[in-house]
Structure 1
């Protein structure tokens, strides 16, 4: 990377904080640390942070609570850490808006690889594919509110989206009228490559179509391009803050 990315490690375990800070600093990052939510917020106010490594089982406000609160006001990427490896924990973390998830114990180099992947996804879009900071995105009568992180139908009624569905729709709205294949969609939403048998993208798009009232047989908003991928076939208007 051309410039040092700033990584904030939030973990109440002093040994883990020290180990990760030493490893990440030695591998081209600038690492900041915090032991709880209060210190995390203070660091975010005072310093530039490009990605947060957030422990799930913090004393006081836990990682899920902090991630949900963070997502209501910031788009900084989050990788969740936990000593638990149950699928439910992973799902909860991703639904709260985490960008990736890693169960303890783990090798620092594995976290390093995850950080690079998430940063690549969030920072390295070509200029003509990147939108300026927006408050909301309007399309086909619908509105995706990026601040409140919810979808409004043409009548102004909130339609609930999971964290994964929100990220998928946001990616389509950031790349309108551009065909995106499964590999690109997984990389942009989850920071990983597609498995030949992975149907996560198809399932999320199916659910999005249902919520948008987009007929799966003859969709007009998210269309299937045979042997290529999917395309958001509509105009997107950006509503900027202010």
Structure 2
């Protein structure tokens, strides 16, 4: 099986694992399973998955610990599964590198749609212009986005972004100085309109800005909040 069709489900409830496995296999994905954080992290480190479904509350290592450890080595897209009362944990999950989350109880169909949307965006950004000889590069004063290499440089230093952070930056930078509201960003970057939480956008913008700021204050300031409206990638004429 092509590794691009492999999904890892890390979930301690067997009933939920079976349900996710059944629905995702119907869509043509191969599923690996883990029932605790230790085993899940080991599988995630030892194999290349197209996406990981990660429960927040797990034995041995919780989802936050797994995600944080995984992000030191890999940028595999992660969707976290959380209970309704775990809002603070979801925010923490975004801060350590989760790309999206789904609240329990969930519809298996919703999970499939979220998975497809995240994989579609990841594939689009990583495979852009594979067949062309023209380099797909966006260059600005403080930031260079090399879409062929899927790499971001801030004042010459590489910035390690998750797939969703990269997609968000690429989308904003592709339309400099244009303001996008959070609903537009959910639709264009996450590719769904019905399940999205606007805080997903806010948290990703915050995390993206922080990562850019660590390398270059000038780069961080290019992601601008337009109060009461949304966000934009600002290009100044310095």
TM-score of the pair, normalised by structure 2: 0.66
Whether contact under 8 Å (1:8, 1:49) holds in the other structure is: yes
CA distance in 2, matches of 1:185, 1:14: 35
Distance 1:50 1:167, change over 3 A: closer
Q: CA deviation at 1:93?
A: 1.5
State the secondary structure of the residue aligned to 1:115. Answer: helix
In 1, the alpha carbon distance for the partners of 2:168 and 2:116 equals 23
- Give 1 or 2: higher helix fraction: 2
The yes-or-no answer on 1:121 pairing with 2:90 is no
Match of 1:86 in 2: 86
- 1:192, distance to aligned residue in structure 2 (A): 3.9
Equivalent positions of 1:164-203 (< 5 A) are 168=165, 170-171=166-167, 174=170, 178-179=174-175, 182=180, 185-186=185-186, 190-193=190-193, 200=201
Partners in 1 of 2:14 and 2:68 — Cα distance? 24
1:200-215 counterparts in 2 under 5 A? 200=201, 204=205, 208=209, 211=213
Task: Give the Cα separation in 1 of the matches to 2:169 and 2:57.
Answer: 34
Q: Deviation digits for residues 185-219 of structure 1, max 9, x if unmatched?
A: 44565454499xx6956x948x94995655xxxx7
The alpha-carbon deviation at position 231 of structure 1 amounts to 4.2
- The structure-2 alpha-carbon separation of the partners of 1:77 and 1:116, relative to structure 1 and needing over 3 Å to count, comes to same
Q: Deviations over 1:48-97 (max 9, x none)?
A: 31000001110111000000111111110001012343321221121121
Q: Which residue of 2 aligns with 1:62?
A: 62
Contact 1:6 1:51 in 2 (8 A): yes
1:27-176 to 2 correspondences below 5 Å = 27-125=27-125, 127-128=128-129, 130-132=147-149, 134=151, 137-139=152-154, 141=155, 143-146=157-160, 168=165, 170-171=166-167, 174=170
For residues 4 and 143 of structure 1, the distance between their equivalents in structure 2, rounded to whole angstroms, comes to: 29
Structure 2: unaligned runs, 5 residues or longer: 130-135, 137-146, 226-230
| Number of corresponding residues | 202
For 2:95 and 2:19, locate their aligned partners in 1 and report how far apart those are by CA, in whole Å.
28
Q: CA deviation at 1:174?
A: 4.6
| Distance change >3 Å, CA 23–CA 122, structure 1 → 2 | same
> What secondary structure is seen at the aligned counterpart in 1 of 2:73?
coil
Work out whether residues 63 and 80 of structure 1, in 8 Å CA contact, stay in contact via their aligned partners in 2: yes
